[in-house]
Chain A
Amino acid sequence: ETGVTQTPRHLVMGMTNKKSLKCEQHLGHNAMYWYKQSAKKPLELMFVYNFKEQTENNSVPSRFSPECPNSSHLFLHLHTLQPEDSALYLCASRGSTYEQYFGPGTRLTVT
């Protein structure tokens, strides 16, 4: 595998379910990001991790819980979501310069 991978690619869950999104980067980077992309809205930054430490939480509701066990892996744990949380969730990683490299995303539908 190369670059940034995300699983699953598609997820349908009920509002009472608990699920997790996984991101893995194979680029040797030290920073990882979660973004939410909804239709007709700009990309929204959710969380930032640098060297496994969370450095940014962009006022994200507590029903989204990130986890970064090491610099290569990032999880987003989901519970009691709302229909408006349906979106494409993108993971990205960054090395020593500014550019971020994105995974293909997880398309989440909350029913």
Chain B
Amino acid sequence: AQSVTQPDIHITVSEGASLELRCNYSYGATPYLFWYVQSPGQGLQLLLKYFSGDTLVQGIKGFEAEFKRSQSSFNLRKPSVHWSDAAEYFCAVGSGAGSYQLTFGKGTKLSVIP
């Protein structure tokens, strides 16, 4: 069965600093990988996705992620964080045909210091 690990529960960065959120997955085949963001009291918004091809994918709001098969990782990055980026971030891996289920990590909460 697939699994996703987000090792950092909570990260605090200063506004304008760079950001990297870690995600490691376990999946036997080629994974479909996603990053979602959730603001308080809201649903999850898709930031970016990786299906195949270029291992560096660009998303919305200036985010990017790099798929590294050798490390089973799909880390999310942003060169300069804005205060509005404070939220919870979820990494997910897609599995199998049929119901196309996603397995989510436990999330990383990002706080931004002005």
On A, residues with C-beta under 8 Å from B are 4, 6, 31, 40-43, 45, 48, 50, 55-56, 90, 92, 94, 97-105, 107
A-B pairs under 8 A by CB, number? 53
Q: Does B45 contact A (CB under 8 A)?
A: yes
For B67, list chain A residues within 8 Å (CB): none
Q: Is the CB of B99 within 8 A of A50?
A: yes
Looking at chain B's contact residues, the main secondary structure is: strand
Q: Is the CB of A105 within 8 A of B42?
A: yes
- Chain A: minimal CB distance from B106 (Å): 5
A43-B90, A55-B99, A101-B46 given; 20 more Cβ-contact pairs under 8 Å:
A41-B106, A42-B105, A42-B106, A43-B44, A50-B99, A55-B98, A56-B99, A90-B43, A92-B44, A98-B51, A98-B94, A98-B100, A99-B49, A100-B46, A100-B102, A102-B44, A103-B43, A104-B41, A105-B41, A105-B43
Contact of B43 among A48, A50, A55, A102 (CB under 8 A): A102
Docked complex Cα distance between A46 and B32 (Å) = 21
Binary flags per residue of B81-114, CB closer than 8 Å to A gives 1, else 0? 0000000001000100011111011110000000
- Chain B: minimal CB distance from A74 (Å): 14
For B104, list chain A residues within 8 Å (CB): 42-43
29 interchain pairs, CB-CB under 8 A: A31-B100, A41-B106, A42-B104, A43-B44, A43-B90, A45-B102, A48-B101, A50-B98, A55-B98, A55-B99, A56-B101, A90-B43, A90-B44, A94-B100, A97-B51, A98-B49, A98-B94, A98-B102, A99-B34, A99-B46, A100-B102, A101-B46, A102-B45, A104-B42, A104-B43, A105-B41, A105-B42, A105-B43, A107-B41
